[in-house]
């Protein structure tokens, strides 16, 4: 850390820092189109046959590692696809 120069110190801090937040919530899960993008079955409101199954459906940043939440969304999405396409998953 360059302690002798404020500008160099600021640059070093900016170069070495990163966010601890995990991006999510860009296609928010909601009961209605007024509050978000996808319904509880992960289907996009108003669009037929389109689902979003990733971290973007998580409405708020979790207070934990996002990995477990993403696994849960993936499992829920896989179950929904299998439920809706029983003919493919016998």
DSSP 54: S
22-61 pLDDT, tens digit each = 678 889 999 988 999 999 999 999 999 999 999 999 988 7
pLDDT of residue 25: 85
Q: Which residues are catalytic?
A: 22
pTM attached to this predicted model: 0.68
Percent share of the chain, pLDDT over 90? 59
**How many other C-beta atoms lie within 10 A of the C-beta of residue 27?**
19
pLDDT of residue 22: 65
List Cβ neighbours of 50 (8 Å cut-off, separation of 6 or more).
Answer: 43, 44
**How many other C-beta atoms lie within 10 A of the C-beta of residue 29?**
20
75-84 pLDDT, tens digit each = 999 999 999 9
pLDDT of residue 21: 66
């Amino acid at each position: 850390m360059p302690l002798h120069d404020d500008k160099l110190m600021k640059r070093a801090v900016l170069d070495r820092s990163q966010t601890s937040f995990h991006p999510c919530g860009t296609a928010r899960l909601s009961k209605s189109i007024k509050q978000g993008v996808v319904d509880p079955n992960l289907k996009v409101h108003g669009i037929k046959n389109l689902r979003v199954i990733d971290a973007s459906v998580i409405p708020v940043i979790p207070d934990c590692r996002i990995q477990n939440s993403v696994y849960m969304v993936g499992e829920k999405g896989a179950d929904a696809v299998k439920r809706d396409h029983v003919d493919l998953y016998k």
